[in-house]
């Protein structure tokens, strides 16, 4: 069977999608190389996408969907943007990799620093997991301390120490969040409730001189969107620095997407002069859709990294020429007009969602962090602040809503705990296509 077939039966997941899913299951654990793709939260047959253009993707059965996944963030300009494709093709023609430095590496670092003046030096890696893992290693190396604080519901990649689950009570040691994570490794992470400065104060009081850093998503975007409460980020930084600990701000999802300078670019406006995180991590947009991530921050901290300092990090594919070409092309084309379009698209989509679900009598809340958004099904008279708040949503309604939208040709994240991404290609016509699908999906959610 060819990679793209007729659309007959595509709506029900039959045809090439089902065939490919069965074939993948025979050679790949669960048939997927990243768990959320398995449709475990929503059921049904996962879609295999064979192409994308602008705001749309096409599956193996030849069916086109308006896309609100956006490769989980990198497709800022839209899929297969001509400038990005051209940059990658030109780089590929020169060679796929050399095991040596290429000019694009420092050019991309310069672009990041231009947008984020808080970042003085940048180290390129291949994945967000590598970036956060390395940032934590730098923090421990610089402070000589063992413990890390993270917040429940925040995701920083799948390195062992960051897959710690919350223990019982405040300032207790983390518990393994995955099989294969040892209790000893998890115990080096304190997992605290988000948006709770009192819990942070208690942790520092309970573990004096032991906490190397706090790692936090700039705005939580892996349990749906949960921005920090007003004053929380400022209080977090002040507390950490008062105890000689560092702050690592994870902008893997929000970086260069929530705004031109990420969610920190939004928070920066309300911060006192000089108050800022110490290290940042980036991914998704910064690689333009290819495997690339980065960490950056204060010069003295970044100079802890080899070859200048004692903290080791290395990678054969770090700064790969194709990846830096894609990232550079994406950032250089992400001008003010692009961010205005992203903002307008997110605003319009939020209104359409709210109107359709309200008309159907479905309790819900649309969550925002800059141009990112997500949808909570449930009665939320006030904004949720913690992971426990989000866990209370009605996932059955999300499941019904998701499948109705998919049948109507709109590709949403296949989990109630994921972020929705618009792109610069989501113009009024595209938003109109989404709006046409919403009333039926809202009725499906109401009936669930």
Supply the residues annotated as catalytic: 155, 250, 284
**Alpha-carbon distance 313 to 353, whole Å?**
44
Copy the structure tokens of residue 42.
Answer: 């929503």
CB 387 within 8 A of CB 177: no
Beta strands in 287-405 (DSSP E): 293-297, 364-369, 372-377
Beta strands in 331-445 (DSSP E): 364-369, 372-377, 410-411
Radius of gyration in angstroms for the set of CA atoms belonging to the chain, rounded to a whole number: 22
Return the half-sphere exposure (C-beta side, CA atoms, 13 A cut-off) of residue 318: 17
Question: b/e string for 264-303 if b means 16 or more Cβ within 10 A?
Answer: bbbbbeeeeeeebbbbbbbbbbbbbbbbbbbbbbbeebbe
Q: In this structure, is the dihedral angle defined by the CA atoms of residues 232, 234, 240 and 245, taken in order, positive or negative?
A: positive
Q: What are phi and psi of 236, to 5 degrees?
A: -60, -50
Give the dihedral of Cα atoms 218, 222, 227, 228; nearest 10 deg: -60
Q: For the chain, first and last CA: distance in Å? A: 37
**Tokens 């939020």 map to which residue?**
350
Give the CA angle between residues 424, 398, 382 to the nearest 5°: 85
């Amino acid at each position: 069977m060819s990679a793209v077939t007729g659309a007959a039966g595509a709506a029900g997941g039959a045809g090439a999608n089902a065939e490919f899913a069965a074939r993948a299951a025979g050679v790949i654990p669960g048939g997927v190389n990243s768990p959320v793709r398995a449709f475990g939260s929503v059921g049904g047959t996962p879609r295999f996408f064979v192409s994308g253009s602008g705001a749309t993707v096409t599956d193996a059965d030849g069916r086109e969907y308006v896309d609100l996944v956006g490769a989980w963030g990198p497709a800022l300009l839209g899929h297969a943007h001509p400038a990005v494709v051209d940059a990658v093709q030109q780089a590929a023609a020169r060679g796929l990799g050399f095991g040596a430095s290429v000019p694009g590496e420092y050019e991309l670092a310069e672009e990041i620093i231009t947008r984020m003046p808080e970042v003085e030096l940048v180290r390129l890696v291949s994945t967000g997991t590598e970036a956060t893992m390395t940032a934590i290693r730098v923090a421990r190396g610089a402070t000589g301390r063992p413990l890390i604080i993270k917040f429940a519901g925040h995701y920083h990649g799948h390195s062992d120490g960051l897959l710690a689950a919350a223990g019982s009570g405040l300032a207790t040691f983390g518990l393994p969040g995955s099989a294969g994570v040892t209790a000893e490794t998890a115990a080096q992470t304190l997992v605290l409730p988000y948006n709770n400065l009192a819990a942070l104060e208690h942790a520092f009081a309970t573990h004096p001189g032991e906490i190397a850093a706090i790692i936090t998503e700039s705005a939580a975007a892996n349990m749906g969107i949960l921005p920090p409460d007003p004053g929380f980020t400022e209080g977090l930084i002040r507390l950490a620095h008062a105890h000689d600990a560092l702050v690592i701000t994870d902008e893997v999802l929000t970086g260069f997407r929530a705004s031109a300078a990420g969610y920190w670019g939004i928070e920066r406006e309300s911060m006192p002069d000089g108050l800022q995180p110490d290290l940042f991590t980036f991914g998704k947009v910064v690689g333009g859709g290819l495997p690339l991530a980065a960490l950056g921050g204060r010069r003295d901290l970044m100079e802890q990294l080899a070859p200048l300092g004692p903290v080791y990090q290395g990678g054969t594919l770090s700064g790969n020429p194709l990846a830096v070409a894609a990232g550079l092309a994406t950032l250089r084309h992400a001008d003010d007009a692009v961010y205005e379009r992203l903002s307008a698209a997110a605003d319009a989509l939020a209104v359409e969602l709210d109107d359709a679900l309200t008309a159907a009598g479905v309790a819900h809340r649309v969550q925002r962090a800059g141009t990112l958004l997500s949808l909570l099904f449930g009665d939320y008279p006030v904004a949720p602040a913690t992971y426990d708040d989000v866990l209370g949503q009605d996932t059955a309604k999300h499941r019904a809503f998701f499948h109705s939208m998919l049948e109507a040709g709109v590709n949403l994240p296949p989990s109630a705990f994921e972020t929705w991404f618009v792109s610069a290609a989501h113009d009024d016509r595209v938003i109109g296509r989404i709006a046409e699908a919403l009333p039926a999906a809202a009725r499906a959610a109401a009936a669930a």
